[in-house]
Amino acid sequence: MIQLDEAKRHLNIDLNYEDDDDYVAMLIDVCVIAVKNAINDTTTTDITTILPLKQAVLLLVGNLYANREPVAYNQVVKVPYSFDFLIAPYVAYYN
């Protein structure tokens, strides 16, 4: 599992700043579920032991922390070699 301190370092949040701790902890849980859903993982395996999937979780945490609303009013550009690139080898396709 991704620890709170690790996520805060990823987000460049001072480890002594605790006002957002509950929110960041919730984001970690949400993003682990989102990545598991994205790769169609139905197991109880800790996906954060797989480094590309762990990074995908951290990318989502960062995105959701920075963008707390469902819309943005600036130009959105997809970053290459990012989330989709990290999870692609782990997606379970079913017939």
Give a yes or no: residue 11 inside a domain: yes
Expressed as residue numbers, the domain containing 49 is: 4-90
Task: List the one residue out of 52, 58, 26, 28 whose CA is nearest residue 39.
Answer: 52
48 within domain boundaries: yes
User: Per the domain annotation, does 37 fall within a domain?
Assistant: yes
* Distance of alpha carbon 29 from alpha carbon 24, whole angstroms: 9
| Domain-embedded: residue 41 | yes
**Which of the given ranges, 56-65, 70-79, 81-90, has the highest pLDDT on average?**
56-65
The pTM is what?
0.86
The residue with greater pLDDT, 80 or 37, is 37
Q: Is residue 69 part of a domain?
A: yes
Lowest mean pLDDT among 39-43, 60-64, 68-72: 68-72
Q: Is residue 12 part of a domain?
A: yes
Asked, for residue 85, whether it belongs to a domain, the answer is yes
> Does residue 95 belong to any structural domain of this protein?
no
Please state the domain count of the chain.
Answer: 1
